[in-house]
A and B are shown apart, each in its own frame.
Chain A
Amino acid sequence: MKIQEPDFILKWQSQVKKGLLEYIILLVLDIKTCYGYELIQEIETRTHLELAEGTIYPLLNRLKAENLVKSKWVEMDRSIPRKYYEVTLKGKEYKKKMKNYLADLQTSFNKLEK
């Protein structure tokens, strides 16, 4: 049985999740090119995060505007077209910067907790 977290923790978790979602998208897209629905499934499977599915679209839109991901429509034989996303070189570079920042942050937390 899953223990229900207090409201405060749930809100905090939701904020952290929101803040990390762009990084998570870059991580997943660096592993494999995905279309929107597939990306959500990948995120949920790999991170166990539960998302309102639509939340990734504004983020993908912003990442694309910043040239961190690129997209292309692919026609499908028996279904409607899919819009596939992949990370750009700039996206890979930013992903590395985010990773380093999170590592620094973790080091600081470890020091604080001692």
Chain B
Amino acid sequence: MSIQFKNEDSKKVYEQFLTSLETRLKGLKKSDRIEIQKELSSHIYESMNSSEDKPELEKLLGSIEKLGSLDDITQPIVADYMIRYAGSTLNPTVLLNAFAANKGRSVQRFVIGGLLIVFSILTLTFVMVSLLKLFRPDMGLYIGRNVFVLGTVDRQTQAKEILGYWIIPIAGVLTVLLLWMASRTLKFITREK
């Protein structure tokens, strides 16, 4: 249930408020977005009712101002929501969103997140090479003196392919491991000290 206004300008201000709130809550389930919207509307309503006898628009603007920055309210809510959701899924999009929502929580956490990104790139390369190996058998993991290549090497390079077709199941295992680590890491880097 939304607030009923008599004044057209008040209606517009309130609608603008709801639109900016909606934009900031993108990524949350509809039911959660409605819940937050309802609660903040209820807050504004109560705040307006307890204000002195002023024109409706003035009361509304005052209540929105006293509520504070919408970013300060919604960012922690969205970040917490993403963590809870990411902790229960291995969906890469959800995990990425959760990292984005929690960026900048501290240097230590940022470094751990960075290491995870490096591991993600390595895993992604393994996956790409293993997929290409189905069409180009010379693709693989080559190791030799001063050589570590994921891909192909020319014949003169003194390197030996070490995994052969095993690179395909290993890429699969690495992917599952990566998603699991991402989920665990998220819980660690976002926990409050």
Contact = CB atoms under 8 A, between A and B. Distances in A.
B1 interface: yes
A79 interface: yes
A53 B67 CA distance: 5
Contact of B42 (A52, A58, A62, A82): A82
Nearest to A51: B68
A94 to B, nearest CB: 13
Q: How large is the interface on A (under 10, 10 to 19, 20 to 34, 35 or more residues)?
A: 20 to 34
Interface stretch (A7-15, A23-31, A35-43, A102-110): A35-43
A55 B73 CA distance: 6
Interface string A26-68: 0000000001111001000000000011110110011001000
A37 B50 CA distance: 10
Contacts of B67: 52-54
Given A58-B80, A65-B84, A83 B42 contact: yes
Contacts of B75: 58
B3 A53 contact: no
B73 A35 contact: no
B42 A53 contact: no
A39 to B, nearest CB: 10
A79 B49 contact: yes
Interface of A: 35-38, 41, 52-55, 57-58, 61-62, 65, 73, 79-83
Interface of B: 1-3, 36, 38-43, 45-47, 49-50, 66-70, 72-73, 75-77, 80, 84
